Amino acid sequence: MPPHFLTEIRVLRDGARPVAGVDEVGRGPLAGPVAAAAVILDPDRLPDGVDDSKALSAKAREAAFERIAASALAIGVAFASVEEIDGLNIRQASLLAMARAVAALHVAPGFVLVDGRDLPALGCPGEAIVKGDALSLSIAAASIVAKVLRDRQMRRLAALYPHYGFETNAGYGTRAHLAALQAHGPTPFHRMSFAPLRTARG
């Protein structure tokens, strides 16, 4: 069942407004940044077709992205670089990207709903919700925005580094991607702190 707006309604009734949903994508890939998005939906103009980004096809995500962009009160997007991922660790880099996404909103949220177990550094109250992208419409919207924009960035990287299949694997360690690493070595956008890259580096 697609996520609903009930969590947001509870928060709004408690007087905290507006409510932002936050999610990140790209924790698991061997290459590319972590992307995060923060979305403040308009309670009077909730977009159709919004679901956990993992439950949608690429075409459905793109369509939902356009509806979110057309109706949301505010959208903030941010990234944590490969250097930050390797220098901090993937958990801390993900929290950094989410904090940046909230800071990028042109409307300051009164409350933030975050997918996962941890809250990033926020300038307002917030709540972490496990599997939030399946439970909160705002978090689901953020997951779609982050996924669409990260996939677009990986397609741009694919044009620069055509051997690795970034346009289809989004940096994940598919068999073809691992074979390309064996044949061509890593790019500057590979996460050297991740196995098998860490192991290969010795």
* pLDDT tens, position by position, 106-127: 999 999 999 999 999 999 999 9
pLDDT value at residue 26: 97
Q: Which two tokens stand for residue 75?
A: 């959208």
* Confidence (pLDDT) at 201: 57
Burial degree of 193 (CB within 10 A; 0-12, 13-18, 19+): middle
Give the pLDDT score at 202. Answer: 47
Alpha helices in the chain (DSSP H): 6-13, 58-71, 82-88, 90-103, 137-160, 166-169, 175-184, 197-201
Average pLDDT over every residue of 130-141 = 96
Average pLDDT (35-59) is 95
pLDDT digits over 67-94, tens only? Answer: 999 999 999 999 999 999 999 999 999 9
Domain annotation for the chain: domains and CATH numbers:
6-151 (3.30.420.10)
The pLDDT, as a whole number, for residue 117 is 96
What is this structure's pTM? Answer: 0.95
Tens digits of residue pLDDT in 140-197:
999 999 999 999 999 999 999 999 999 999 999 999 999 999 999 999 999 999 988 9
- Lookup: tokens for 29: 């890939």
Q: Spell out the residues 6+ positions from residue 83 whose beta carbon is closer than 8 angstroms to its own.
A: none
- With cut-offs at 50, 70 and 90, classify the pLDDT of residue 200: low
